[in-house]
Amino acid sequence: MANPRQPPEAAPAGGPPAGGAGSGGGVRGRHLFGTDGVRGRVGTDPMTVEGVLRLGWAAGRVLAAHGGARHGVVIGKDTRNSGYLFESALEAGLSAAGVSVFLLGPFSTPGVSFATTRLGAAAGIVISASHNPYTDNGIKFFGPDGKKLPDAVEEAIEDQLTAPFVQVPIAELGQVRRLERIREDYLDFCCASLPAGMSLQGLTLVVDCAHGATYRLAPALFERLGARVIALGVHPDGLNINAGVGSLHPEVLAETVLREGAECGIALDGDGDRVIFVDRRGAVIDGDGLLYVLALDRLEERRLAGPVVGTLMSNLGLEESLARQGIRFCRSAVGDRHVLACMEREGGVLGGESSGHLIHLDLAPAGDGLLSALQVLRAMWRQGRGLDELCRSLHRYPQKMVNVPWPRGTPVPAESILGPDFERARGFIGEPARILIRPSGTEPVVRILVEGGEGPGLESALDHLVGRLCDLRDQVS
């Protein structure tokens, strides 16, 4: 398959469109927030010390206007070396706005959501770029309900960035505390999602923490439940997060599962909100496979309400396999906030993405890799069957995806322009054929997904679509 060509002067990952920065702060202007908060390359807009300082101050001003100064803000981070830099900047900005801060240190994204609600905080902030390399970082916000901030609040924070930076009087500066006990509280919360008497005694689990935020949490959780844990990716050095490990790189995990004769392998991403599995035969089970296992287990236990919610990227085979079990399937736009919105609208309790970002709305308000892993283990324990057996009735169509570098602010061609190219690609794929082209909300790329047929034509379809998109991109660059 042809390699996508690099565009001229590609924008940094997750940064704002060209021209969006303002003087004196580097993060002014609208459209700062992407589908998963603010994200970019460390040292460039918006991820500079001054930019994050002002972002913390702006968020503090907005929260203080709604009583947030009394309740404080929780801050957690993953293991990137730049996390210390931005933690201090956020802390200073919030304090200058009169908002107190609770520091968690390295902690998973869903753990910060939990801590926010447990402490009754005005908001939670996570310093993380999730599955991106250490050269990137980002800022995610949770509201007091543990859910991502509504668009209106994010817009208010962006608007506040245009105001002059004014510090509150010294007597009103926010206070800063470090929290220690919350880690055990979070593990207690995860264990409470399981039936009384459930144990992992006698099971060998290989757990890959991606050298990320769960490097302490995950082994402690599974060992507490009685499993023998073989831990991978638990030696963060600030630079190795997601590097050849975790949910994006399950190869070593699969090899270890086979070598150790483990029941399964569990791979998390850098901030702990995604999980994928490897079954005892070494096969990778992504978010689509896990949704299928969880949906059928819930159906059998009468714990499934509403439809299962996936995204436009979910495999067509998942939709058809669930339909054969009498389970309705709905698709949302890509991104966990869109999945959650669809679940709430349709009355669902289970949803997620192929990447392994799964939401159990009756258990937690945000996607949680550790909580999701426990629910999969619960299904295996309850049914007394391996993950390979639980996935056996899931049919999947061949699917391939590629990222094409795409400068921020460059429009993606409309389907009316690409119509003939879609038809040619469908001819390569066969029936059924599904094609999706969309810009990423977190990286300066366009994602092309092709799916269907018997598989051989997918490479040719991708070759054609990649070449056409690169030509169109280069014409306007």
How far is Cα 86 from Cα 202, in angstroms, rounded to an integer? 42
What is the pTM for the complete model shown?
Answer: 0.89
Specify whether domain 399-476 bears CATH 3.30.70.890. Answer: no
Mean pLDDT of the chain: 91
130 is catalytic: yes
* CATH 3.40.120.10 domain range(s) in the chain: 38-184
- The yes-or-no verdict on residue 345 having pLDDT over 60 is yes
- Between 3.40.120.10, 2.130.10.10, 1.10.10.10, 1.10.1760.20, what CATH number should domain 38-184 receive? 3.40.120.10
pLDDT in tens, 6-62: 443 333 333 332 223 333 344 434 478 877 789 999 999 999 999 999 999 999 999
Q: What is the pLDDT of residue 275?
A: 98
Confidence of residue 444 (pLDDT cuts 50, 70, 90): confident
List every span in the chain annotated with CATH 3.30.310.50: 399-476
CA angle (209 as vertex; 356, 378 as ends), nearest 5? 55
Mean pLDDT, range 293-313, rounded to an integer: 97
Above pLDDT 70, what percent of the chain? Answer: 94
Question: From the CA atom positions of the chain, what is the Rg in Å?
Answer: 22
Q: In degrees to the nearest 10, what's the CA dihedral of 158, 163, 169, 173?
A: 20
User: Is the predicted pLDDT of residue 5 greater than 60, yes or no?
Assistant: no
| Helix spans in 42-134 (H) | 49-64, 68-71, 82-96, 109-119
Of 263, 274, 258, the residue nearest 218 (C-alpha): 274
Active-site pick, 82, 95, 113, 130: 130
- Sign of the CA dihedral 423, 428, 432, 437? negative
